[in-house]
């Protein structure tokens, strides 16, 4: 006799059906789909995926691209990897696909939600963390503050910091036991302080002076967060994004007041550091924004300060007076821009300046050539303008090559918003695509067999395969290209020129190698010590 409806609906039967369905879903998710049903199954897949984390932890613990570089050498330019819970993800360094993802069809490839949440936890809900129409409107509102006229008018602020840093280095070397032998100094620490001071001046008209103040609260907060950054900690943040409301809670004042709860387990120590440092940075940022808003009320536009945030606040005021229905950033959104400027604006340039000095320390010929180029210019004018520095050919080569090999942000991601083809590869809707920038920038198909070597001269004779938009993606391209690229390059040029004109740089010890650490941004595990001598 067939079972009746009442038999089927008995609790024991419902429990059995639920168990069978659950087991089937597990088999489908972890066995059937990846092995037999996935449209990506024909792509080469590296071994070693874990059941729950897939390849994610291996990628995030990577030395800024080392593992992914090995995979692309072994398996090709486009491959499949397993994401969390065996989700299908892709990695590609294929120039044709990059052009489609970041350029031609950029509207179909957005930043995935989990990445936006992680960026928001680090840099606020600013330009880095938003997507779609909100990103377009926000970028349009911010573009005037990054005009060439504004940026070139701020060059003197760079020198206010670099002059002080040069003097401090000279004092430290002079006071060392053997000045002629120079002094081993933690380069990243000093570059981070200097670039923070520069972004505070150019971005907010605020004199942080962390170079001369060893206990600057803002610098300490960023230093604390930087030290705690790592691939495994980034993985913790990514998994936290899976919990509804968790990222909002992390940024709340309630969480800050109860942060001691995070001391009970070593696993949560990173979250405590993040909560504490983010709170400190946010409180200082609120004061900076409050000052700018007050200035916009009391000071005429023609007399206003020329820092970026002052310009944005005054522009918002003018737009609202002209048309109250136009898009304008709220005070909260403006605060998030402050957090973005401070965090991304100084960290990336600090990494690039450190990487440049490290590279030159290991290439004395290039270092000498650069010194011979910049010294006469600085002797003639200690504070050259933007065009003068931009016209220095070898300086331009050194900076371009540094940014190519050491992109401060080593990886980006996109998610397919609809099913599409990349070449002959069917990419299902929802597929996350990793863009390993450090590997893309050193693609041997573009740059040749010496692609991974620091060779500034390659920029004097670019290879035929070079594409100015997709061969070096340090600042990305398309709608999400870095709005502060020109500002960052100006800062890197001036910092490197001043350092090389006044000091020689050598490895701190024989056999020294760059100890890189992955994460949201690349970093140096040991702070990159170098031996610094006066010229």
- Contact yes or no for 78/425 (Cβ under 8 A): yes
Mean pLDDT of the chain: 87
- Look at residue 255 in the predicted model and tell me its pLDDT: 92
Query: pLDDT > 90: what percent of the chain?
Result: 48
Alpha carbon distance 285, 342 (integer Å): 9
- Look at residue 507 in the predicted model and tell me its pLDDT: 98
Alpha carbon distance 435, 433 (integer Å): 6
Token duo for residue 351 = 């990494």
What number is the average pLDDT over the span 83-102? 92
Model confidence at 37, in pLDDT bands (50, 70, 90)? Answer: low
- The alpha carbon of 76 is separated from its chain's Cα centroid by a whole number of angstroms, namely 26
Q: How far is CA 69 from CA 257, 433, 524, in A?
A: 43, 16, 19
- Look at residue 414 in the predicted model and tell me its pLDDT: 96
116 labelled ligand-binding: no
- Contact yes or no for 288/235 (Cβ under 8 A): no
Specify the DSSP element, H or E, that contains 183.
Answer: strand 183-186
Name the range with the highest mean pLDDT among 44-58, 113-127, 129-143, 365-379. Answer: 365-379
What number is the average pLDDT over the span 155-176? 94
Per mean pLDDT, which range of 58-67, 161-170, 238-247 is the poorest?
A: 58-67
Which stretches does DSSP call E strand in 68-182?
A: 78-82, 88-92, 109-110
What number is the average pLDDT over the span 56-60? 83
> Regarding predicted confidence, which is higher, 37 or 234?
234
> Regarding predicted confidence, which is higher, 28 or 320?
320
Residue 519 zone, left/alpha/beta (φ > 0; ψ -120 to 50; rest): left
| Cβ partners under 8 Å of residue 314, min gap 6 | 296, 301, 304
| pLDDT over 70 (residue 429) | yes
Tens digit of pLDDT for each residue in 341-350?
A: 777 778 899 9
- Look at residue 438 in the predicted model and tell me its pLDDT: 93
| pLDDT over 80 (residue 5) | no
The helix/strand/coil state of 216 is: coil
Among the residues of 28-84, which ranges form H helices?
A: 56-60, 66-75
Q: Please list the residues that pair with 504 across neighbouring strands.
A: 533
Neighbours of 366 (CB within 10 A): 20
Per mean pLDDT, which range of 261-265, 295-299, 408-412 is the poorest?
A: 295-299
Model confidence at 13, in pLDDT bands (50, 70, 90)? Answer: low
- Contact yes or no for 395/370 (Cβ under 8 A): yes
Token duo for residue 244 = 């509804």
- Look at residue 449 in the predicted model and tell me its pLDDT: 95
Token duo for residue 435 = 């863009």
To 5 degrees, how large is the angle CA 197–CA 201–CA 202?
115
> Regarding predicted confidence, which is higher, 445 or 235?
445
What number is the average pLDDT over the span 365-375? 98
| Cβ partners under 8 Å of residue 264, min gap 6 | none
Tens digit of pLDDT for each residue in 182-225?
A: 999 999 999 999 999 998 888 888 888 999 987 888 888 888 88
Superfamily in which the 38-534 domain is placed by CATH: Cytochrome P450 (1.10.630.10)
């Amino acid at each position: 006799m067939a079972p009746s409806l009442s038999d089927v609906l008995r609790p024991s039967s419902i429990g059995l059906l639920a168990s069978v369905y659950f087991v089937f879903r597990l088999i489908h998710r972890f066995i059937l789909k990846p092995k037999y049903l996935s449209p990506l199954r024909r792509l080469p897949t590296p071994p070693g995926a874990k059941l729950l984390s897939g390849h994610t932890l291996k990628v995030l613990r990577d030395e800024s691209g080392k593992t992914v570089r090995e995979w692309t050498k072994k398996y090709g330019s486009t491959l499949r990897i397993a994401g969390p819970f065996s989700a299908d993800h892709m990695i590609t360094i294929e120039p044709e696909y990059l052009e489609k993802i970041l350029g031609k069809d950029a509207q179909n490839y957005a930043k995935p939600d989990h990445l936006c949440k992680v960026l928001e936890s680090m840099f606020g809900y600013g330009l880095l963390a938003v997507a779609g129409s909100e990103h377009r409107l926000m970028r349009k509102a911010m573009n005037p503050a990054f005009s060439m006229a504004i940026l070139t008018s701020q060059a003197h602020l760079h020198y206010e910091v670099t002059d002080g840093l040069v003097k401090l280095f000279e004092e430290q070397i002079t006071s060392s036991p053997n000045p002629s032998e120079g002094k081993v100094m933690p380069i990243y620490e000093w570059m981070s302080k200097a670039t923070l001071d520069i972004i505070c001046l150019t971005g907010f008209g605020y004199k942080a002076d962390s170079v001369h103040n060893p206990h600057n609260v803002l610098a300490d907060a960023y230093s604390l967060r930087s030290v705690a950054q790592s691939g495994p900690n980034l993985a913790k943040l990514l998994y936290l994004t899976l919990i509804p409301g968790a990222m909002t809670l992390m940024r709340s004042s309630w969480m800050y007041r109860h942060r001691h709860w995070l001391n009970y387990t070593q696993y949560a120590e990173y979250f405590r550091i993040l909560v504490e440092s983010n709170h400190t940075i946010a409180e200082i940022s609120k004061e900076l924004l409050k000052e700018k808003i007050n200035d916009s009320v009391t000071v005429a536009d023609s007399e206003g300060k020329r820092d970026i945030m002052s310009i944005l606040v005054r522009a918002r005021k003018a737009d609202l007076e002209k048309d109250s229905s136009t898009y304008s950033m709220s005070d909260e959104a403006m605060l998030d821009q402050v957090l973005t400027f401070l965090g991304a604006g100084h960290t990336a340039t600090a990494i690039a300046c450190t990487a440049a000095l490290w590279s030159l320390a290991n290439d004395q010929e290039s270092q000498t050539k650069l010194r011979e180029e910049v010294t006469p210019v600085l002797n003639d004018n200690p504070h050259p303008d933007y065009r003068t520095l931009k016209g220095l050919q070898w300086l331009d080569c050194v900076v371009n090559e540094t940014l190519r090999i050491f992109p401060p942000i080593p990886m980006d991601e996109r998610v397919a918003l609809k099913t599409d083809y990349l070449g002959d590869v069917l990419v299902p809707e929802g597929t996350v695509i990793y863009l390993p920038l450090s590997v893309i920038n050193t693609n041997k198909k573009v740059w040749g067999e010496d692609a991974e070597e620091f060779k500034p001269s390659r920029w004097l004779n670019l290879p035929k395969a070079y594409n100015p938009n997709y061969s070096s993606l340090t600042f990305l391209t398309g709608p999400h290209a870095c709005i502060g690229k020109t500002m960052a390059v100006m800062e890197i040029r001036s910092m490197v020129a001043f350092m090389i004109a006044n000091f020689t740089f050598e490895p701190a010890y024989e056999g020294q190698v760059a100890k890189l650490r992955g994460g949201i941004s690349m970093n140096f595990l040991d702070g990159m010590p170098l031996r610094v001598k006066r010229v």
